[in-house]
């Protein structure tokens, strides 16, 4: 055969596929490295407003459930209050989107754009969660003992059945709603299980894609798949909401004006308690729509680089800084108040007038003050606690780095 004749080169489909896949992953990693992860003043304020609003709606929801059972034939004011007081579940979805946005940023920066640093990410997440969670569980246990003392009847019998050491440990490790109930009376702890698993599963997914070695990728993939098979269906479903927050980092431009994005969210919240939605199976779709409206808000503010006009005391920043404490601390004392009311033959209100509104407002303010006091004693010390833990694990980090 001539020198220029065609020579057949053996093809290896699996090797070609491997090269193609890993090439695509390297390209995706390079694209992630180009993302501007800075947070503009406009975005910072928007995030503060979203967190403050969501935590407020959660507490208002719990007060509404404790004090009101709205009757039929309500006037316009009471119809508005009915819609307003039961937005807690949607509010938690707002928090999930914001959490996915902020935690996703930390994970992507740690595992794709910089030298992979499991220790710093792990320490940051563990200290952030447990600086409030452990005190909240202990304080909640004490509150529940008071609750069981002042309560009469069988309304709170379930609390005593949920205060064992095994349930306590289950809530420490994010196993509530999977292998254990929420600890004591503190029902809002269900969402902490979601957060803990997302903090673990998302970086495991990133390492499986972008890990520095095949061994690390395999371990991370096994861990991620194992977690998917282990956690509850609700954690997986709400994980899609959390991931929407992560995806906020991808768009290169704003999709909607800020005013329109906020209007969409308000519209979704205003229609959240429409019984036709839930009766026709559109409840979760509505929740997803609400989450998408928050995505649009974050997207619009993320691309707004204009400086704020003036520096002034921001109420949203003040309330945002203790939303986590408010979320975890407020429920057990509310149950004590409810037990005391029931002990005095309290019947939930069928509608809200001036007297009922003032009572609900006084209870709301009391729970905020109570939660802020515990924030001052616990969550406020987060950065010092994180620095302490980082120092303690520094030697272990060096040991692992030297053996890698």
Q: Give the model's pLDDT for residue 25.
A: 64
Could you give the C-alpha distances from 334 to 113, 345, 379, in angstroms and in order? 45, 17, 20
Burial class (CB in 10 A: 0-12, 13-18, 19+), 396: exposed
pTM of the model: 0.88
Taking the C-alpha atoms of residue 117 and residue 288, their distance in angstroms, rounded to an integer, is: 33
Q: Give the model's pLDDT for residue 23.
A: 61
Q: How does pLDDT run across 157-185, given as a tens digit for each residue?
A: 999 999 999 999 999 999 999 999 999 99
Six token digits for residue 84: 């307003």
Taking the C-alpha atoms of residue 139 and residue 260, their distance in angstroms, rounded to an integer, is: 42
Could you give the C-alpha distances from 94 to 16, 260, 404, in angstroms and in order? 43, 17, 39
Q: Give the model's pLDDT for residue 12.
A: 61
Query: pLDDT tens string for the chain (404 positions)?
Result: 444 544 454 556 656 555 665 566 666 777 777 788 889 899 999 999 999 999 999 999 999 999 999 888 888 999 899 888 999 999 999 999 999 999 999 888 887 765 557 778 888 899 999 999 999 999 999 999 999 999 987 889 999 999 999 999 999 999 999 999 999 999 999 999 999 999 999 999 998 888 778 888 899 999 999 999 999 999 999 999 999 999 999 888 889 999 999 999 999 999 888 777 766 777 788 888 999 999 999 999 998 877 766 555 578 889 999 999 999 999 999 999 999 999 988 999 999 999 999 999 999 999 999 999 999 999 999 998 888 888 877 777 666 666 55
Q: Give the model's pLDDT for residue 5.
A: 47
Could you give the C-alpha distances from 132 to 126, 204, 285, 378, in angstroms and in order? 10, 24, 32, 6
The DSSP output letter for 112 is I
CB-CB contact of 316 with 48 (8 Å): yes
Q: Give the model's pLDDT for residue 273.
A: 83
Other beta carbons within 10 Å of 56: 17
Could you give the C-alpha distances from 240 to 96, 117, 162, in angstroms and in order? 10, 25, 29
Domains of the chain: which residue ranges?
A: 38-394
């Amino acid at each position: 055969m001539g020198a220029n004749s065609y020579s057949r080169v053996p093809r290896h489909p699996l090797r070609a596929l491997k090269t193609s896949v890993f090439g695509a992953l390297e390209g995706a990693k390079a694209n992630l490295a180009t993302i501007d992860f800075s947070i503009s003043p406009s975005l910072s304020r928007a995030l503060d407003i979203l967190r403050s609003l969501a935590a407020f709606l959660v507490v208002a929801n719990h007060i509404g459930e404790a004090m009101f059972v709205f009757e039929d034939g309500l006037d316009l004011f009471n119809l508005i209050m009915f819609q307003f007081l039961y937005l807690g579940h949607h509010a938690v979805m707002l928090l999930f989107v914001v959490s996915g946005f902020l935690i996703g940023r930390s994970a992507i920066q740690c595992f794709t754009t910089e030298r992979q640093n499991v220790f710093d990410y792990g320490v940051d997440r563990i200290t952030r969660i447990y600086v409030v969670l452990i005190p909240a569980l202990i304080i909640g246990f004490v509150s529940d003992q008071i609750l069981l003392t002042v309560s009469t009847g069988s309304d709170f019998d379930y609390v005593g059945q949920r205060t064992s050491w095994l349930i306590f440990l289950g809530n420490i490790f994010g196993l509530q709603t999977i292998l254990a109930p929420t600890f004591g009376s503190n029902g809002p702890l269900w969402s902490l299980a979601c957060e803990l698993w997302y903090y673990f599963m998302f970086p495991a997914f990133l390492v499986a894609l972008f890990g520095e070695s095949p061994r690390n990728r395999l371990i991370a993939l096994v861990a991620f798949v194992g977690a998917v098979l282990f956690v509850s269906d609700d954690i997986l479903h709400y994980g899609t909401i959390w991931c929407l927050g992560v995806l906020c980092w991808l768009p290169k431009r704003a999709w909607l004006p800020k005013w329109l994005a906020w209007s969409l969210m308000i519209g979704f919240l205003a229609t959240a308690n429409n019984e036709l939605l839930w009766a026709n199976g559109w409840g979760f779709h509505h929740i997803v729509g609400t989450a998408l409206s928050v995505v649009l808000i974050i997207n619009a503010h993320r691309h707004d680089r204009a400086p704020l006009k003036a520096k002034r005391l921001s109420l949203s920043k003040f309330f945002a800084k203790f939303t986590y404490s408010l979320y975890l601390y407020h429920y057990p004392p509310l149950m004590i108040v409810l037990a005391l009311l029931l002990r005095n033959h309290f019947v939930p209100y069928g509608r809200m007038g001036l007297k009922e509104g003032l009572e609900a407002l006084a209870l709301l303010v009391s729970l905020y003050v109570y939660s802020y006091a515990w924030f001052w004693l616990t969550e406020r010390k987060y950065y010092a606690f994180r620095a302490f833990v980082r120092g303690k694990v520094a030697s272990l980090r060096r040991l692992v780095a030297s053996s890698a």
